[in-house]
Amino acid sequence: MKNISSVNRILIAICAALMISAYFTPLWQISLWAPQYPEGLNMKIWIDRLSGDVDIINGVNHYIGMKHIGVEMFPEFTYLIYIFGFIIGFGFLAAIIGKRWSLYAFFAMIALLGIGVLVDMYLWGYDYGHNLDPTAAIKVPGMAYQPPLVGYKELLNFLAYSGPDTGGWILAVAGSVMLYAVITEILKSKKEKVLA
Amino acid sequence: MKTKLWLLAGAAVAMALAHGCKPKGAQSALSGDAASKVYIAPGQHDEFYNIISGGFNGQMSVVGLPSGRVFKILPVFSVHPENGWGFSEESKPMLNTSHGFVPWDDLHHIAISTTNAEHDARWAFGNANNTPRIARVDLTTFKTVEIIEIPNSGGNHSSPFITENTEYVVAGTRFSVPTGDEANRDVPIDTYKENFRGTISFISVDKDHGDMEIAFQLEAPPFNFDLARAGKKKSHGWFFFSTYNTEMAHTLLEVNASQKDKDFIMAVNWKKAEEYIKQGKGKKVKAKYAHNKWSEDTHMATSVIKDEVLSLDPRELKDIIYFIPCPKSPHGTDTDPTGEYIVGSGKLAAIIPVFSFTKMLKAIENQDFEGSVDGMPVLRYESVLHGEVEKPGLGPLHTEFDGRGNAYTSFFVSSEVVKWNIETLQVLDRVPTYYSVGHLMIPGGPTGKPHGKYLVAYNKITKDRYLPTGPELAHSAQLYDISGDKMQLLLDFPTIGEPHYAEAFPASLIKDKQVKFYPLEKNNHPRVLKGINDARVEREGNKVHVYMTTIRSNFRPDNIEGIRVGDEVYFHVTNLEQDWDVPHGFAVKGANTAELLVMPGETSTLKWVPDRVGVFPFYCTDFCSALHQEMQGYIRVSPAGSNVPLKYSTGVAE
């Protein structure tokens, strides 16, 4: 396969480096507002842990029988650091290799990671919002409390928001830059084929 | 002839209109936009915190200005059933004294801590007038965190006034009393002049943590000390105390202490006193007093009884005390924001004397004395006087400043506030108060940087101001706008207790520094529970310790059996919440104390001695959640000597 442009090689290296930020910044945030919580309750999801008002959210949610949110709830925390490590390592390798297949593979990994994380989040949210304690104090017929995957959603007296946090946005930028690199390479290869 | 007729006609008209010309009430004093100036729209905050003494209720109240809304009653020297202050085992030591547990006092004055003569609003100090004490309140938690008793004192009235960097809080005795050993204290009252002393205590304040110590006591003559103010800026290093009864009478003071034309303002050079202490000139004397501290680490108070103080005798140690003659029975002694002028308020005087600090120093340098008291020089009145305010009103009490060169003096007898210029001594404006004003207050007024926007008068008599409530009426505060040339009444609001002095400072100084909850991991109470799994009940002889947790919306344990009549049951309640504004209450039927109100992350203990057999409910008193009513439990009490096993549980039966 053909070599990629030196610009794209540099971009791959930059994106791999950007992904390191995932270890130092929160990736995702879930926020809740209610009349009695005008300042909002905020939970941040990191690569290997949770932070923010988790205890308060648990305190509020136990009335409707939601599970106690804790690190033990997320087996992902134990292996996500290795998946990220592998992809970042591969990214630097791809920059050195400098072939189109290495770029495509790197982009595919990022894309799969992103899709995987969103699917995982959705499944967790579905379970968290539907699988309620049958002895809970407050039962609203037909009500589920699945948090929004991305964006805002009203859940009883709470307005819930879910979206990327600092690290998530950095990853999104990395993914977009890689998408750009992939597109330029594809266009270039088409041009080459026409010329050939 | 014509003139005479006109005069007659004029007189007739005047008589006809006399009724209509009767001065109108407060309604006419209000102009149309007053309401909008004190209206705080929902969701908005007041501009100033106003910390007001509660007088005979022993508490402080926290009020917003300009709205006049009460936010909190803050217990200091009085037990407070609302939150268990003085009833919980942890807070009882705060009210300990050398006389034992004293659950009430008479809190007169507020001092807000300052740095460089400006409010830093880290702490509020308050005095106990009856059983002399000084308290310190932490303004991040609005909790009384330290109380120190003042020995050799009776009627701690000229207190707690502070120096410009809060180096010292003073406690001047109102009543002079015999001091020293027991033998020295058992003396005939009519040996007043020989055996009584008027001690002034200087209490040092740790600049980082606020911890107080009695640094030294000055043995002043047996006068009555009324009020005080520290010098500031150019007069920093000096303290000024007003005195009455310089006649040294000991009976019917109404007559006998009003004889002299002039009493004194006592000027104390505390820097000089510090020098003498460094030179080892002070002497340790026996004195028993309690020093109580609250720990936010263990959520409990400790009380230590101390047994000596450092005493300085200004009859021997010269240059500490000078007397400024001041007409007549001075009440307030107030230093202006520049520190140059000292305003005396002779409550029986027809003028207001204003003294000059510069002239005072010069008079001391020139030894311009007109006499002495026990070897302490009395300065010549005319040499120290900046000037007198002529015909200000009747019964001047207190003076505050707006930072624009104006002074505002309250007049008790003529029920008014009078504004005058400090330099020219001209009266500029006067407004009536409703009625009989005592203290008055301008935000930042006693500091070097007043916020000259509002003035509040604290009145002793209310009469027709509010809906009547039987023989006892609310005391009244009145808010005036002083930003213009003329003072304008904006608002009446009732106060709690009998307010004396108050101070106000910008809300922005502290509102973002408030403690919202106590982190559970930092709770080092010896009986703390860190989670629900530790909840338990343990018996030690006839003492039963219930280790209980609260969280929305349950107690653990909530069923307890095996308690016997006559047991001492201690409920150690830990509130596991880690969220702002979620205290839980705890009350048990028949308890002879009060409820507990346990802050998030705090541990608090209630003692209960069941006196009869039965099943006793307990419940949460603070509406905590939708299931607040369900937050309850039962304790079974069996006869003394019964062998019902100790048992406790939560949530297993059903």
Task: Chain B: give the shortest CA distance to residue A56, in Å.
Answer: 6
Where does residue B169 rank: exposed (0-12), middle (13-18), buried (19+ CB within 10 A)?
buried
Does pLDDT of B152 surpass 50?
yes
CB contact under 8 A, B551 and A56: no
Most B-contacting residue of A32, A51, A55 (CB-CB within 10 A), to test interface: A55
Handedness of CA B562, B565, B567, B568 (dihedral sign): positive
Contacts of residue B14, defined as CB under 8 A and 6 or more positions apart, other chains included, come to B21
- Within 8 A of B552 by CB-CB distance, chain A residues are 59
From B551, B577, B626, residue closest to A63, measured CB to CB: B626
Asked if B567 and B610 touch (Cβ cutoff 8 Å), the reply is yes
* B552/A contact by beta carbon, under 8 A: yes
Q: Provide the pLDDT for residue B4.
A: 55
User: DSSP code of A169?
Assistant: H
Helices (H), chain A: 6-19, 54-61, 76-97, 100-130, 166-195
Does pLDDT of B12 surpass 60?
no
Report the C-alpha gap between A9 and A154 in whole angstroms.
44
Residue B148 pairs with which residues in a beta bridge? B134, B291
- Within 8 A of A59 by CB-CB distance, chain B residues are 551-552, 577, 579
The angle subtended at Cα B176 by Cα B173 and Cα B177, nearest 5°, is 115
The angle subtended at Cα A50 by Cα B555 and Cα A115, nearest 5°, is 130
Residue B463 CB neighbours (<10 A): 12
Most B-contacting residue of A51, A56, A62 (CB-CB within 10 A), to test interface: A56
Residue B572 pairs with which residues in a beta bridge? B547, B605
User: pLDDT tens digit string along B486-520?
Assistant: 999 999 999 999 999 999 999 999 999 999 999 99
Confidence tier at B32 by pLDDT (50, 70, 90): low
What are the DSSP E strand ranges found in B449-600? 454-459, 475-481, 488-495, 502-506, 536-540, 543-551, 554-556, 559-564, 568-575, 584-588, 596-598
Three-class secondary structure of residue B299 per DSSP? coil
CB contact under 8 A, A59 and B626: no
Residue pointed to by tokens 């030179």: B279
Task: Chain A: give the shortest CA distance to residue B548, in Å.
Answer: 18
pTM of the complete model: 0.89
Residue pointed to by tokens 């059903």: B654
- Within 8 A of B579 by CB-CB distance, chain A residues are 53, 55-56, 59
User: pLDDT tens digit string along B409-440?
Assistant: 999 999 999 999 999 999 999 999 999 999 99
CA of B543: how far to CAs of B58, B173, B527, B609, in Å?
33, 43, 14, 10
CB contact under 8 A, B627 and A59: no
Residue pointed to by tokens 């005069």: B7
The CATH architecture one would assign to domain A6-195 is Up-down Bundle (1.20)
Report the C-alpha gap between B175 and B180 in whole angstroms.
15
From A55, A63, A137, residue closest to B578, measured CB to CB: A55
Q: Provide the pLDDT for residue B652.
A: 66
Report the C-alpha gap between B441 and B479 in whole angstroms.
10
pLDDT, mean over chain B: 94
* CA atoms lying within 13 Å on the CB side of residue B290: 23
From A56, A63, A137, residue closest to B578, measured CB to CB: A56
User: pLDDT tens digit string along B123-149?
Assistant: 999 999 999 999 999 999 999 999 999
Which residue, A175, A30, A42, A181, is CA-closest to A116? Answer: A175
CB contact under 8 A, A137 and B579: no
Cα end-to-end distance, chain A, whole Å = 15
* B628/A contact by beta carbon, under 8 A: no
User: Minimal Cα distance from A36: which residue of B?
Assistant: B581
Q: Provide the pLDDT for residue A2.
A: 80
Does pLDDT of B8 surpass 70?
no
Task: Chain A: give the shortest CA distance to residue B121, in Å.
Answer: 25
CA A142 to chain centre: 29
Does pLDDT of B23 surpass 70?
no
Which residue, B326, B193, B200, is CA-closest to B248? Answer: B193
- Within 8 A of A53 by CB-CB distance, chain B residues are 579
Confidence tier at B14 by pLDDT (50, 70, 90): very low
Task: Chain B: give the shortest CA distance to residue A2, in Å.
Answer: 59
Tokens of A194: 């026409």
Does pLDDT of B365 surpass 90?
yes
Dihedrals φ, ψ of B585, to 5°?
-100, 160
Q: Provide the pLDDT for residue B654.
A: 57
User: Minimal Cα distance from B654: which residue of A?
Assistant: A135
Q: Provide the pLDDT for residue A52.
A: 94
CB contact under 8 A, A63 and B577: no
- Within 8 A of B551 by CB-CB distance, chain A residues are 59
- Domain positions in chain A are 6-195
More confident residue, B5 or B45: B45
The angle subtended at Cα A171 by Cα A168 and Cα A176, nearest 5°, is 125
Task: Chain A: give the shortest CA distance to residue B499, in Å.
Answer: 34
Q: Provide the pLDDT for residue B431.
A: 97
Residue A1: its H or E element: none
- Within 8 A of B577 by CB-CB distance, chain A residues are 59
Which residues of chain A carry a pLDDT beneath 50?
none
CA B102 to chain centre: 17
User: pLDDT tens digit string along B204-245?
Assistant: 999 999 999 999 999 999 999 999 999 999 999 999 999 999
Does pLDDT of B642 surpass 70?
yes
Does pLDDT of B560 surpass 70?
yes
CA B395 to chain centre: 23
Residue pointed to by tokens 């939150």: B83
Orientation angle between helical segments A6-19 and A100-130, nearest 10 degrees: 30
User: Minimal Cα distance from A39: which residue of B?
Assistant: B580
Which residue, B165, B160, B159, is CA-closest to B114? Answer: B165
CA of A121: how far to CAs of A52, A77, A110, A162, in Å?
18, 13, 16, 10
Query: Residues of chain A whose C-beta is under 8 A from some C-beta in B?
Result: 53, 55-56, 59, 63, 137-138
Give me the domains of chain B, ranges plus CATH numbers.
38-509 (2.130.10.10), 520-649 (2.60.40.420)
Task: Chain A: give the shortest CA distance to residue B644, in Å.
Answer: 32
Residue B587 pairs with which residues in a beta bridge? B619
Tokens of A84: 């990220």
In this predicted complex, what is the ipTM? Answer: 0.76
Q: Provide the pLDDT for residue B21.
A: 45
Does pLDDT of B622 surpass 90?
yes
